[in-house]
Amino acid sequence: MGCHLNKNSKGIKILIPNMLTFVKISDKDGNNTIKPFYSLTEDEKKAYRDKNNNDVTFNNQKLVGFSIGHVFDMKDTNLSMDQINQELNPNMDDDRAKDIIDTFIKTIYKDGFKVEFKDLGHDTAKGYCDHAHKKIIVRKSLSNLMQMKVLIHEYGHALAHKHLENNNMEYQQHRNKYETEAESIAYVVSKYLGMQTTDYSLDYLYSWSKEKDFKEIDDSLGTIVNYSKRIIKNFEKLSNRELDFNNKSTLKI
């Protein structure tokens, strides 16, 4: 955000988990070897980044220790609260978004979920998907365009991540992956509808995917493409049906 810490600022010390990435290397005889990423040769690293090469693939990540880090209060920076608020809650609006939201609410209902707009109080979340109760909750104080973007994001969770209904641990362990997928879906669908959410979505995607390696992101592309297409198809199907109904209901004199 282009800010810096004020002179003599003192942060709070915290423990930062250090994760080590392990990869699986397969030889021509079908034997597998597990090695930490840092020990790979240049050729092995090249094979690892090649999405068409399965000789070197991601295996898992393990916690190997902790290091000391520091966190600072916002008042310790040269940024004003207005600047911080603008970064966290950009002023996004579009008069067309309200009609799109109305259609999406009906589309989502056909997929078995209800939509509610609520005051989420001090919770920083702009919305969430409740798989257990088949609900999508959106913060009602958001602008129309942001509500639409959040609605599509949570719709993406509802469809693409239904396997998490009874497995919150899976979500917590791979939260970066699932948030990247949902926001990518929201970005693609919003772009298709001609709604400008790029500035917010790109910052959001960067924050969740910056620690991911190429193959992890590549593994999510199928999910992103398939569910973006499904949501667009569902939206257009209902939108065209309503347009056709309105045309037939119009009396021409």
Q: How far is CA 136 from CA 79, 144, 201, 222, in A?
A: 34, 16, 19, 24
Query: 4 pLDDT exceeds 80?
Result: yes
Q: Is residue 191 part of a domain?
A: yes
Residue 179 located in a structural domain: yes
Using the 3D structure, point to which of 23, 39, 71 is the last residue of a domain: 71
Residue 85: inside a domain: no
Based on the domain organization, do 54 and 121 belong to the same domain?
no
- Is residue 42 domain-shared with residue 164, that is, in the same domain? no
Q: Can you give the pLDDT at residue 104?
A: 92
pLDDT in tens, 65-121: 999 999 988 788 887 776 666 665 555 566 788 889 999 999 999 999 999 999 987
- Are residues 17 and 133 located together in one domain of the fold? no
> What would the pLDDT profile of 137-177 be if each residue is shown by its tens digit?
999 888 888 899 999 999 999 999 988 777 777 878 888 88
**Residue 173, in any domain of the structure:** yes
Are 129 and 33 within one domain? no
Structural domain harbouring 49: 12-71
Is the domain of 29 the same as that of 152?
no
Tally of structural domains, the chain: 2
Give the percent of the chain with pLDDT over 90: 31
Please give the pLDDT value at position 80.
75
CA 221 distance to own-chain centroid = 13
Mean pLDDT over 17-41 rounds to: 89
What pairs with residue 23 in β-bridges?
Answer: 35, 58
Q: Are residues 60 and 114 part of one domain?
A: no
Distance CA 95, CA 86 (A): 20
Shared domain for 60 and 98, answered yes or no, is: no
Residue 21: is its pLDDT beyond 70?
yes
